[in-house]
Copies of this chain bind each other. A is one copy, B any other.
């Protein structure tokens, strides 16, 4: 890989690190991690989410009990300000990463083309 590519990638890495959105994400993350109760609630919520997603991907059935458990964890995290703040910051960051990827991968998208993918 040429140094041109490395230099440009590291420049973008610095821009992300210094961005308002990343700084906000880091702050929200630190605030949640400083609150063990909220942190635990959030990790539990993520685990329940992942377990359901995995089952859906594998085509497995999701039990009524699992649906109820998921709804309960969603209701809990929605009431916690630190968690909702972190989730919003994560969503913004994820949108930015998506936009950056769209820009960066434009040469490849143009080459393969939308209608004539190989």
Chain A residues in the interface with B (C-beta under 8 A):
1-2, 4-22, 25-26, 29, 42-43, 46, 57-59, 93, 96-97, 99-100, 103-108, 111-112, 118
Contacts and interface: CB of A to CB of B under 8 A. Distances in A.
Nearest to A47: B118
A54 B31 CA distance: 41
- The interface residues of chain A, by DSSP majority, are classed as helix
Contact of A16 (B5, B97, B99): B5
Contacts of A46: 118
A8 to B, nearest CB: 4
B16 A107 contact: yes
17 contacts: A1-B19, A1-B99, A2-B20, A5-B15, A7-B15, A8-B8, A9-B12, A11-B12, A13-B103, A13-B107, A16-B104, A16-B108, A25-B111, A29-B112, A57-B57, A58-B58, A59-B59
